[in-house]
Amino acid sequence: MSFSRLLRFFSDHLSITSPNSSAPEKEESSSNSSAPKKEESSSNSSAPKIMASTSTSSIAVLGVMLMASSTFIYYFYSKASSSNSSEPKKEESSSNSSEQESSSNSAEPEKEESSSNSSEPEKEESSHNSSEPEKEESSHNSSAPKKEESSNSAEPKKEESSSNSSEPEKEESSHNSSEPEKEESSHNSSAPKKEESSNSAEPKKEESSHNSSEPEKEESSSNSSEPKVMVSTPTSCIQTSFKYDVFLSFRGADIRTNFLGHLYEALKKKGIATFKDDVGICKGNTIFDELIKAIEDSRFYIIVFSKNYASSSWCLDELVKIMKCRKMTGHTAYPVFYDVEPTQVRKQSGAVENAFSENKEKDASGKWEGALKEAAGLSGWVLKDGDQSELIKKIVGFISLMLRSISFGPDKMLVGMETRVTDVVESLEMGIDDVRMIGIKSMGGAGKTTTARAVFDRLSADFEAKTFVANVREVSKPSMSGLKKLQEKVLSKLLDEDVTLDSVTDGKKMMQERMRSIKVLLVLDDVNHSNQLEALAGVSNWFKPGSRIIVTTRNEQVLVAHRVKWIPDYDLLSREQVLEAHRVNVIRDISLLSDEEAIFLLSRHAFGSAIPPEEFKELSGKVAHYAAGLPLALEVLGSSLCGKNKHEWEDFMKRLAKFTLPEEIQKKLELSYESLEKDYKEMFLDIACILKGLRREDVIRILECRGFNPGIGLRVLEQRCLITFSSKYEYLGMHDHIEEMGKNIVRRDHPDSRLWIKEKIEDILVDDEGTEATICLELRKTNTNAGIIMKGLGKMNKLRYLKVYFPYQDYYERDAEDLDNTAQYFSKYLEYLNCTNYPFLYLPKTFQVNNLVGLEIKRCRRMERLWEEGVKKVLENLKFLSLSESALTTFDFSMTPSLERLSLEDSPNLVELFMPVSCQKLNYLHISKSKLRTFDLGLTPNLEKLSLNDCADFEELHMSSACPNLKFLELRKSRLSRLNLELFPNLERLGLEGCDKLVEINAPVGCLRKLVYLNLTSCLRFSYFVVPVGELEPKDSRSSASLRLVGEILDSCPLHPNSNLPKLRFRCYYDEDLPSSVGNIEKLISFGLCACTDFKKFSDMICSLRCLRKLELECDIPDFPKDLGQLECLEELCLSSTKIKHLPNSIRKLKCLKSLEVDNGDLLEKLPKGLGQLECLERLHVRSKKIKHLPKSICMLKRLKSLDVRDCSCLGKLPKDIGQLESLESLDLSATKIKHLPDSICMLKCLKSLEVDNGDLLEKLPGGLGQLECLERLHVKSKKIKHLPKSICMLKRLKSLDVRECSCLENLPKDIGQLESLVTLDLSATKIKHLPDSICTLKHLTYLNLDECALLENLPEDLGRLECFKDLYIAASPKLLLRLYSSEMQNTTCHRRGTSSDEGLKAAEYFLKLIDMGVMENKSGNWPDLKCCEIRNGLEGEWETLTSSSLS
């Protein structure tokens, strides 16, 4: 056979590239075309392509949409583009044509594909009298649906409209539109034409332009196909909320009961508020008035044009109103052409003409015709003899997407944000593949952080890693340690791993090394020093191209200085290059709000509406003027005035008028402070000076100690926008300007009342200048010794709040006697005392504690008791007591009768607690690392949390009465042996991990009904047992639970060394989806917690579990539970044990069982005979080396889909009636002893996968194998099979044929080419000499393996016609390779060093080179996607013995 064609392919048309070579080039064809075109094809896609062309002065319109949270209108435009082409396809179009129709006789043919069932809309935009050109602005994050280009797209091809096309058309008329339009005009220009494909369900677009004479300005990016955005000026009449999401317009007689009804229900099911006239109209109201009101109050309109739609004047009037409303911002209409063509509606022809004839002579016919024509040109969907359900799915999906894009837009309370975000996004130029840094600067409160967060939320999905680093300035305050923590945070987030650094320098090095391979979005918020940028975003080459860094700051100089460092070789650049570099890394200034936006924002907070009431408009204007455009000021003022009447507004304005507006904005905020009640003012000042940054619960506790009502007070301050709480960890926050405003008030009106500046406090203490004016003092990390501090506090005798960090050296280094002789003084008015590194043995004996409510002392290792020996003071009002790292040996609750919270953390000397008969107020008790052995709870009815963790000697918890409010119980790593949970009926969390002495838990069924977390890990019974209960929503209405027990055999039980019972320890995985507990957890933990296992009790416990749907037992036990049939809800059962010989017969009672897996059963000899009674069984997987046959009853399993008996090495045959498994889809017989497959196997009409790997035993396949009409995968491995049955050529759906290592297989059926769906073919290690020529007709074949086919002599001449070929593996048959290079390689210049240059060596040299390079790139047009061709064998030795004579 001649191989010249294939030889030329190898020698002339394949070029060797590196393994990372780019994909093959696309084929460019210009035949039969008057203009060059560029096409894309995908070998793996059967979906039609989408082609969109632009006519002379038209541009495709993606959609018009209102962002509800903004005061701006957006137009989204997108040019159709080719997904992989950089060259546009050109097409000449006439500007005088209103419609372009494609036909087979066109002088400029296009590839088009029309489908009568298509649900993809087609858009046509017509602009007749447009006079104003507009600018397009590209936005990659438009809220309009995105068009994604994909070679595997399933979206229909976009094309110019055709009268025979079933695709909808879009024509957007601007006859009466007040909105400016985009157009592209050129009477004789050749508009670029591009092909693209998309997975979007977005409507198809078609544009035409007739008489436009105005030029256009267009901005586009060669690298972007994103929708373009145009922003108009603000408007005050914007509808931001709608009663209905969708209004349905339809002719009821045509479609009400079928298509329309299904569409309405589908929309409702998705939670889309939909108006349908027979549902939404209230009784007693005028129908048409209700319809008009509903149209005005709907966001989207779906107009279903049916054949008789135009016969109804009612429908036509409705349509006119819809067309009028759609021109208003926020309203969009989409037509559905139900069994009619768009052109019929637009021109009132065909069936539509007949229907409209009834109304043609009426007075309103003119406006009806206009409305029909306008609506028919909109983006929509066409359904003609197609699948209604599929179209409904697309419509509902599209509407959901549009609503989602609106919902995910900026917060409705944020005004003017969208234009700021758009400006920043445009500056980032997302389509350009370089590293960009954008700085956002402004004064505090102008919205830098909010803007950066909105940009981050919009763009984050486009990056491989992203992180928003908030409060850089504040976090980095502790200099280098703060920067290191920031670096660790950034690296951990971006790399998705825990990162710990030794220094900032190490952090810089790691960022430089690791960030280069990751496209990141990094936001650094509130940067105030250049060292922060140097540590977190040093230079641009730290990051992978495409990365974006956004920095917000109040100090522009930080950005200016750092920007120079981001420009490489700055000194070597020309002026133009420097300007360009500065343009790339720009600084955006956040402007303040305009007057209109300010009133909008103020009204939102004061009245909850976009526009203030008429009587408040003038006052609102004045308030907005005073705010001077600062968003924070507007929010605070608006919240302060919320609910006030006009008289109160006027009084407020009079107070405003008394003050001259200061230059610094924060002073205006004092007005909000002035409106607070006295207690709330004091709370605010405490927060501004002392409490900012603490957790909510700590703030509440401290304010309660101060005598305030924090529950109401914090809510008031939060409503006035004076404080915030982070959503995740509930830390109290406050804007910097508001914080400074509060401190200024203290300095001005209450000097020295609150002291928080370390240096000032130290000076006062050292100079002993304290005064009675001081009520709050916080001294952080001072070096002033304890004696000076205590002496200096002596004059502050009105002090109510004291927080002091004593010097470290006093705590660890000072002489004990010296400390004990130090005079101590604390004010008798103290309400809250917090000390760290407390160096004294006890509290001062002069300390009068009648007012003390909160006492927290951290690291008090010298404190052995609260009071000096002989002194006994009762802390009558003390509610909160926390002592950590103390030397206390005992604690007497009678000394604190009002105590609510007690924490004695890390108390290694504590041996005893004295609990009175009753502690009615105690609700929190935490003790850790103590020497407590027992504890009697006494009467503690309000106790909610009890934690005795790491108390290694703790043995017994006494309870004389129930604790009805106890929710959290933690007894980790104790010596507890027994625990009674019956007295804790409302327990939610139980932590008992590490309690290795725990033997028994008394938990009656129902006592843990509120449990949400249980941890028994490292108990004797369980090496792991963590149960997060009720975290997931139930997947359906049924209650369900799953249990997995993985057991291990222990040699002995430490608690019962002489017991004869088997010793088992389990890893337990239990999940529950139950509305309330059914007692399963109680049964699991009440079974016993030592290793001794009574299998009878174990079996009874397992079989008593309720609502169990999945059970996995993996342990070497002699018998599985015999009463498994009691688990009536069980659907999945997995049993694994090497000691099991028989399965329990009760298994046949599991009527709901869908999956049965028996694994590692080396001793299992047979399956139960009654297995066929499992009528719901769908999956049966068995592994056992002793099973010789399957029970005949399995042929009764009518629902069985998967049968897997691989590794059943003694299984010699299948039941004869295996063909009765009518639902079987997968059959795996690998590693069995089956010699013959029963003929009935050919009756398995649903079989998709058949795998037989039987080594030396299987001699042939059934002749009727071709009857398996659904078979997609056939894998056969046997050394005795010599040929395949001819009938396999009938397997039209077969995708994979694998006969590797069928070492006796000599040929393939001649008609193998009839396998029209075949994708992969593996013939490796066979005796095949020739491939049938029909193999060249396998048009979907992508993979062919001929490895180790030593006898292969030639390849079919037309093998190069396989268009989808990607991977070709050729065996190293010397004869084959030399034949391929017999004549064409005569003139090769390839030589191997140190050998002769005969023909064999030339060929060897060439193929070795192929092996070294690994990849070939095609340049010929054949095999366009070939990526890999491997020639493998021991070439080094074999080629030496060959000569040119071998070529024969």
Each residue of 1141-1156: pLDDT tens digit? 788 888 889 999 999 9
Structure-block tokens of residue 1437: 């030795």
Of 142 and 607, more confident: 607
DSSP, residue by residue, 189-251 = -EEEEEEE-----PPP---EESS----------TT--PPEEEE----S------SEEEEEE--
Q: pLDDT band for position 812 (50/70/90)?
A: low
Mean per-residue pLDDT, 320-336? 89
Residue 574 has a pLDDT of: 62
DSSP, residue by residue, 586-605 = -EEE-PPPPHHHHHHHHHHH
pLDDT digits (tens, 9 = 90+) for 249-283: 988 777 766 888 889 988 988 778 899 876 655 54
Amino acid at 338: Y
Structure-block tokens of residue 1434: 């021991």
Q: Does the pLDDT at position 571 exceed 50?
A: yes
DSSP, residue by residue, 307-331 = TTGGG-HHHHHHHHHHHHHTTSTT-
Q: Which long-range contacts (CB under 8 A, 24 or more apart) does 450-454 make?
A: 450/414, 450/417, 450/631, 451/417, 451/420, 451/421, 451/424, 451/552, 451/590, 452/424, 452/523, 452/525, 452/550, 452/552, 453/523, 454/410, 454/414, 454/417, 454/420, 454/421
Q: Does the pLDDT at position 357 exceed 50?
A: yes
Residue 45 has a pLDDT of: 36
DSSP state of 616: G
Q: Does the pLDDT at position 898 exceed 60?
A: yes
Q: Does the pLDDT at position 80 exceed 90?
A: no
DSSP state of 19: T
Q: Does the pLDDT at position 1201 exceed 50?
A: yes
Residue 1356 has a pLDDT of: 82
Mean per-residue pLDDT, 1312-1335? 91
Residue 666 has a pLDDT of: 56
Greatest extent of the chain over all pairs of C-alpha atoms, in Å: 116
Residue 820 has a pLDDT of: 59
Q: Does the pLDDT at position 600 exceed 90?
A: no
Residue 856 has a pLDDT of: 95
Highest mean pLDDT: which of 592-601, 637-646, 701-710, 1205-1214? Answer: 701-710
What torsion, rounded to 10 degrees, do the Cα atoms 1133, 1138, 1142, 1143 define? Answer: -10
Candidate from 87-91, 224-228, 1234-1238, 1259-1263 with smallest mean pLDDT: 224-228
Q: Does the pLDDT at position 1424 exceed 70?
A: no
Residue 257 has a pLDDT of: 64
Active site residues: 318
Pairing of strands 854-858, 901-904: unpaired
Residue 818 has a pLDDT of: 56
Question: Strand pairing partners for 890?
Answer: 912
Q: pLDDT band for position 667 (50/70/90)?
A: low
Name the pTM for this structure: 0.54
Mean per-residue pLDDT, 48-71? 31
Of 137 and 596, more confident: 596
pLDDT digits (tens, 9 = 90+) for 293-317: 899 999 999 999 998 899 988 899 9
Mean per-residue pLDDT, 1386-1403? 36
Residue 1038 has a pLDDT of: 60
Residue 1030 has a pLDDT of: 53
Q: Does the pLDDT at position 91 exceed 50?
A: no
Mean per-residue pLDDT, 1360-1375? 70
Residue 1411 has a pLDDT of: 42
Residue 394 has a pLDDT of: 87
Candidate from 101-115, 830-844, 908-922 with smallest mean pLDDT: 101-115
Mean per-residue pLDDT, 731-746? 82
Candidate from 469-478, 792-801, 886-895 with smallest mean pLDDT: 469-478
Of 215 and 1376, more confident: 1376
* Average pLDDT in the chain: 74
Q: pLDDT band for position 148 (50/70/90)?
A: very low
**Interior angle at CA 332, CA 330 and CA 338, nearest 5:** 160
Q: Does the pLDDT at position 161 exceed 90?
A: no
End-to-end Cα, the chain, rounded Å: 12
Candidate from 100-104, 590-594, 817-821 with smallest mean pLDDT: 100-104
SS3 (DSSP) at 522 = strand
Q: Does the pLDDT at position 365 exceed 80?
A: yes
Residue 861 has a pLDDT of: 86
Residue 389 has a pLDDT of: 87
Element (H, E) at 510: helix 504-514
Residue 154 has a pLDDT of: 35
Cα–Cα nearest to 300, from 340, 261, 330, 320: 330
Other beta carbons within 10 angstroms of residue 812's beta carbon come to: 11
Sign of the CA dihedral running 1215, 1218, 1221, 1225: positive
Mean per-residue pLDDT, 1200-1215? 90
Distance CA 1172, CA 523 (A): 62
CB 695 within 8 A of CB 729: yes
Of 1189 and 462, more confident: 1189
Cα–Cα nearest to 78, from 53, 60, 96, 102: 60
Residue 1330 has a pLDDT of: 87
The H-assigned helical ranges of 333-444 are 342-347, 350-356, 365-376, 388-407, 417-428
DSSP state of 823: -
Q: Does the pLDDT at position 1231 exceed 80?
A: yes
Q: Which residues have CB under 8 Å from 558's CB, separation 6+? A: 527, 528, 529, 530, 533, 551
Q: pLDDT band for position 162 (50/70/90)?
A: very low
Q: pLDDT band for position 969 (50/70/90)?
A: very high
Q: pLDDT band for position 84 (50/70/90)?
A: very low
Q: pLDDT band for position 809 (50/70/90)?
A: low
Q: Does the pLDDT at position 168 exceed 80?
A: no
Element (H, E) at 1321: strand 1320-1322
Q: pLDDT band for position 655 (50/70/90)?
A: confident
Q: Which residues have CB under 8 Å from 1350's CB, separation 6+? A: 1371, 1373
Question: Strand pairing partners for 66?
Answer: 73
Mean per-residue pLDDT, 476-496? 83
